[in-house]
Amino acid sequence: MWDLLSMKKNQEECRRLGDALDADAETSALSSSQRKHLAACPDCQAAADDILMSRTILREVPARAALPGPWFAPRVMAAIAARESELRQSLEAWAAVPRLAARLTFASAVVLLLAGTWLYERPKPVPTAAVNQTVVESLFDSPPYAGPQDDLAMPLENAQ
Distances in whole angstroms, Cα of residue 28 to Cα of each of 19, 47, 100: 14, 16, 74
**pLDDT-above-70 percentage for the chain:** 64
Q: Are 74 and 45 in contact (CB under 8 A)?
A: no
Which DSSP string corresponds to 118-141?
Answer: HHHHSPPPPPHHHHHH-----SS-
Reading the chain (160 residues) residue by residue, the pLDDT tens digits are 344 445 556 778 888 888 887 777 566 667 788 888 878 888 888 888 888 888 888 887 776 656 667 788 889 999 999 999 999 888 887 788 888 898 999 999 999 999 999 998 887 776 665 555 555 566 666 666 655 555 555 556 655 5
CA 79 to chain centre: 28
Four-residue CA torsion sign, 122, 124, 125, 131? negative
Which DSSP string corresponds to 17-83?
Answer: HHHHHHH-SSGGGS-HHHHHHHHH-HHHHHHHHHHHHHHHHHHHS-GGGGS--TTHHHHHHHHHHHH
Distance CA 17, CA 40 (A): 12
